């Protein structure tokens, strides 16, 4: 798992406690340039992935925050894409 900024790491840990399962956040590199991030709830864990091919410093923070919120709201599978 890539290191997250402290506030994001605190959100990840809080969600993991609330759901009673590990929440993994990781960077992925895919040929799908439209993919921004995705959420999958699997047996025993929650996986949040964000595309690393984007430009900018900490550009992924709002994407991970949104996916954490959606997982907390009970969504089980989400894919965020560029318009």
Q: Does residue 19 fall inside a structural domain?
A: yes
Q: Does residue 65 fall inside a structural domain?
A: yes
Q: Look up the CATH number of the domain holding residue 73.
A: 3.30.160
State the pairing for strand pair 77-81/35-42.
Answer: antiparallel
Q: pLDDT tens, 32-50?
A: 889 999 999 999 999 999 9
Q: pLDDT tens, 10-25?
A: 999 999 999 999 999 9
DSSP 8-state assignment for residue 33: T
Q: How far apart are CA 26 and CA 20, in angstroms?
A: 19
Percentage of the chain beyond pLDDT 70 is 92
- Model confidence pTM above 0.85: yes
- Give the helix/strand (H/E) hosting 67: helix 61-72
Q: Does residue 1 fall inside a structural domain?
A: no
- Tally of domains in the chain: 1
Domain holding 33, by residue range, is 6-81
Q: Does residue 68 fall inside a structural domain?
A: yes
CB-based burial of residue 80 (10 Å sphere; 0-12 exposed, 13-18 middle, 19+ buried)?
Answer: middle
Mean per-residue pLDDT of the chain: 91
């Amino acid at each position: 798992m890539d290191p997250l900024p402290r506030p994001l790491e605190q959100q990840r840990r809080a969600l993991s406690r609330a759901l009673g399962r590990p929440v993994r956040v990781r960077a992925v590199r895919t040929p799908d340039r439209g993919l921004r991030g995705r959420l999958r709830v699997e047996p025993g864990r929650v996986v949040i992935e964000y595309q690393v091919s984007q430009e900018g410093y900490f550009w992924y923070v709002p994407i991970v925050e949104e996916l954490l919120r959606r997982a907390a709201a009970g969504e089980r599978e989400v894919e965020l894409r560029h318009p």
